[in-house]
Amino acid sequence: MKIGVIGGGQLGRMLALAGTPLGMNFAFLDPAADACAASLGEHLLAGYADQDALRQLANDVDLVTFEFESVPAETVAFLSQFVPVYPSAEGLRIARDRLFEKSMFRDLGIPTPAFADILSQQDLEAAVASIGLPAVLKTRTLGYDGKGQKVLRQPQDVAGTFAELGSVPCLLEGFVPFTGEVSLVAVRARDGETRFYPLVHNTHVDGILRLSVASAAHPLQSLAEDYVGRVLKQLDYVGVMAFEFFEVDGGLKANEIAPRVHNSGHWTIEGAECSQ
């Protein structure tokens, strides 16, 4: 099988290192000449909106996936006309926008922090009045490693914060007094078969994930599998998904999903029979 990957960064490189022993071949589309995955497959040196290059990729591979979720929606829509793309455009649309993500959790009965859609400073002030402080204001899209978010602790933290995050659509979330953070990496096949890796306990420093420890038998494993399974089914998801949770009051609150392999799953490279 030949797999096309949008993006040729570190996660793409690890995908190829895991897939090659399984008999898979790879082609990467990445505009960077020094894309670090390029040595492990073919490299199409082109932009993500380059339709000639996308068509060439689609003609050359059996399916396409991506290694970062800010791949333009138009790129996925264009490719989907010619070749299967996994995870689907719909999974990507939801996972890249914190409002869609948290609305889906709520609709599926998965506990998640209180949240409100924020399109202006007035919206922010109204939401702070109903959700209360502390709270976290996050840009709806493009955040990673804690970038694009601000914790609001005191009433005086609220003024000017919408502009500080760039006056872009945001989400205000109630601050969760969590006792821990855990993530579950799941994989669902085209026929619906679903497998879960053990729950991983994550420690962040300055917003960046520093330590992930996998549990042999975490007491919240089956609850996490139940929640993640609901999302996989709802999206008719195909591929690897990572789901981040807050551990609170002996239960779980959903934080976010990543529609791809994830840094909290890097332990699977040596720690599992099959790397994520």
Say if CB 253 and CB 111 are below 8 A apart.
yes
Q: Of the two residues 4 and 259, which places its CB atom closer to Mg ion in the complex?
A: 259
- State phi, psi for 252 to the nearest 5 degrees: -130, 140
**Could you give the CA distance from residue 257 to residue 208 in angstroms, rounded to a whole number?**
16
CA pair distance 181, 253, nearest whole angstrom: 10
Q: Strands 180-188 and 194-196: what pairing?
A: antiparallel
Binding mask 80-119 for ligand ATP (x = CB under 6 A): ---------------------------------x------
Q: CB of residue 33 vs ligand ATP: minimum separation in angstroms?
A: 26
- 90 vs 256, which CB is nearer to ligand ATP? 256
Query: What is the distance between the alpha carbons of residues 267 and 275, in angstroms, rounded to a whole number?
Result: 8
Half-sphere exposure in the Cβ direction for 80 (13 Å, CA): 14
Please pick, from the candidates 136, 185, 252, 254, the single residue that binds ligand ATP as defined by CB under 6 A.
136
Question: Residue 113 or residue 265: which is nearer to ligand ATP going by CB?
Answer: 113
Between residues 38 and 176, which has the closer beta carbon with respect to ligand ATP?
176
Match 């970062």 to its residue by tokens: 68
Would you call the peptide bond into 134 cis, given omega within 30 degrees of 0 as the criterion? yes
Residues in binding contact with ligand ATP, number by CB under 6 A: 18
Task: State the nearest-atom distance from the C-beta of 91 to ligand ATP, in Å.
Answer: 16
Give me the least distance between CB of 98 and Mg ion, in Å please. Answer: 10
Rounded (5°) CA angle 262-242-135: 100
Q: What are the distances in angstroms from CA 158 to CA 119, 139, 147, 202? A: 14, 15, 18, 29
Scan residues 216-275 and list those touching ligand ATP (CB under 6 A).
244, 255-256
Q: Which does 247 bind (CB under 5 to 8 A by kind): ligand ATP, Mg ion, none?
A: none
Which CB sits closer to ligand ATP, 64 or 186?
186
Whether omega for the bond prior to residue 219 falls within 30 degrees of 0, making it cis, is no
Exactly one of 30, 69, 101, 181 binds ligand ATP (CB under 6 A); that residue is: 181
Rank residues 28 and 243 by Cβ distance to ligand ATP and give the closer one: 243
Sign of CA dihedral 31, 35, 41, 42: positive
175 counts as binding ligand ATP under rule CB under 6 A: yes
The reply on whether position 128 binds ligand ATP by CB under 6 A is: no
* 8 Å CB contact between 217 and 261: no
Binding positions for ligand ATP, 22-81, rule CB under 6 A: none
Using CB under 6 A, list all residues that contact ligand ATP.
Answer: 113, 136, 138, 143-147, 173, 175-176, 181, 204, 207, 209, 244, 255-256
